[in-house]
A and B are shown apart, each in its own frame.
Chain A
């Protein structure tokens, strides 16, 4: 009888102790969360006596995720601010330049053909301005609406050739060339011409501004369409962030781009159901598009 009494008392005592521990642990977790909330800290919730290890771990996982998002948000915010400044600068530059020329024409006495030349230059500047503004519009349209593109049958090589032609003069003027390698037979795919042209434009333009020497483009058709753009670059590129909207290695940004080129290319590619990847090794930068 007494043995039973002793055993049950011990059992009761043990249970009581466990209950107290549990209660203390809960209180401690509550208290710590309150402290973490008020202080801007990296601290996580600690075990008071280990009776709710799983809960503590889950809470900590949430906290970590929350902090990570916050840091990410703050980083993106900072980059956005940076980008806004850059955009303002970008838009202002051709505008100021054009205005300068207009002023010159107005105030000075120059022959007709010189005036014509100046006007051409002004037009070029304003075109540039227009295309910049177009980029921003396109981009914001895309990310806000997300409507599926209209598909048609087209020859991708022809679209690629068109894009190359756009930039041919710019490349030649710099003593650089574009080499295009496409399969001899004519092919047809279902895609959107405007988007595809924009993608290629952006990639070739990007190579022009940020790369050096020649650009090598290759299109192959095996297990779907694969197009690669390869060129040399001046400095190692962070391939994980190169498609980020605001990423640009050239901090001084004297080359006048908004960093959106590759981001747009990526968005458009994915919109068309394809994939785009970048690789950079030994100062050789390659972008690969797959449909």
Chain B
């Protein structure tokens, strides 16, 4: 496992995705710190935010950006192996198919989540130093806020891994991952507009990803969180399992 990690880290620094991942996040943070207004991607979630919350936690609420950033590790680590067919080299002479799946997935998830936490903490430190306590909360609060989003981030990561192993080719993977949430939101909004399906649409929107990301750090309703977490756990487990089954049983070409 450690060997795999070392090898992947070595390789990552030579991919474009690696630099994209870190630079997009850092640039977004930089802009936020400079303009003292939170920025980031959001889909169904409302843009106007509650000014009573300190800016850094509002920034955490905007972590939907990571949804798109999380596309990059599976793309660089998994899809490229299928595109270039380099998985052949590893499977024939280093590890079995099962271990390959486990190690790849583990590294992908680990890398994504570590990146997520690190970047968030980095932002905290920079923001606190530069903008002072007017714009930043206590470390404990901030840390807790970030942690509340972790299960969801994990689920997203697992989901992407499954899609990567399922779809194999980079183009297909990219399209599905980028378009799906947009599709979801569009459908939900349309249903909302239609009127008869308003109720369904409402709950769809309540659980839309960027909205969830927005709400998790700040909501006080326990069952909202609980529901989300249970769903995340289920999604993570299911994704990893399905990915494993597809990868180990189907023919690889």
Chain A residues with CB under 8 Å of chain B are: 21, 47-50
Contact = CB atoms under 8 A, between A and B. Distances in A.
A50 B9 CA distance: 14
Given A47-B3, A49-B2, 8 more contacts: A21-B2, A48-B2, A48-B3, A49-B1, A49-B3, A50-B2, A50-B3, A50-B6
Interface in B181-222: none
Interface of B: 1-3, 6
A222 B250 CA distance: 80
A47 B1 CA distance: 11
Contacts of A21: 2
Contacts of A50: 2-3, 6
A268 to B, nearest CB: 52
Nearest to A46: B3
Among B1, B2, B3, chain A packs the most CB atoms within 10 A around the CB of B2
Nearest to A2: B140
Contacts of A47: 3
Nearest to B5: A49
10 contacts: A21-B2, A47-B3, A48-B2, A48-B3, A49-B1, A49-B2, A49-B3, A50-B2, A50-B3, A50-B6
A94 B3 CA distance: 67
A49 B103 CA distance: 14
Nearest to B1: A49
A21 B6 CA distance: 14
Contacts of B1: 49
A48 B1 CA distance: 8
Contacts of B3: 47-50
A48 B2 CA distance: 7
3 shortest interchain CB distances as A-B pairs = A49-B2, A47-B3, A50-B2
B147 to A, nearest CB: 15
Contacts of A49: 1-3
A49 B6 CA distance: 9
Contacts of A48: 2-3
Contacts of B2: 21, 48-50
A47 B5 CA distance: 13
A108 B154 CA distance: 107
A130 to B, nearest CB: 61
A25 B2 CA distance: 11
Nearest to A51: B2
A89 to B, nearest CB: 48
Contacts of B6: 50
A104 B1 CA distance: 83
B124 to A, nearest CB: 15
A49 B3 CA distance: 6
A266 B224 CA distance: 92
A227 B198 CA distance: 109
B4 to A, nearest CB: 10
A28 to B, nearest CB: 11
A21 B2 CA distance: 9
B99 to A, nearest CB: 14
Nearest to B6: A50
A98 B1 CA distance: 76
A176 B2 CA distance: 72
A49 B2 CA distance: 5
A21 B3 CA distance: 12
B117 to A, nearest CB: 14
A272 B6 CA distance: 58
B126 to A, nearest CB: 19
A48 B94 CA distance: 12
A57 to B, nearest CB: 16
A68 B6 CA distance: 32
A91 B1 CA distance: 65
B175 to A, nearest CB: 38
B114 to A, nearest CB: 15
A3 to B, nearest CB: 10
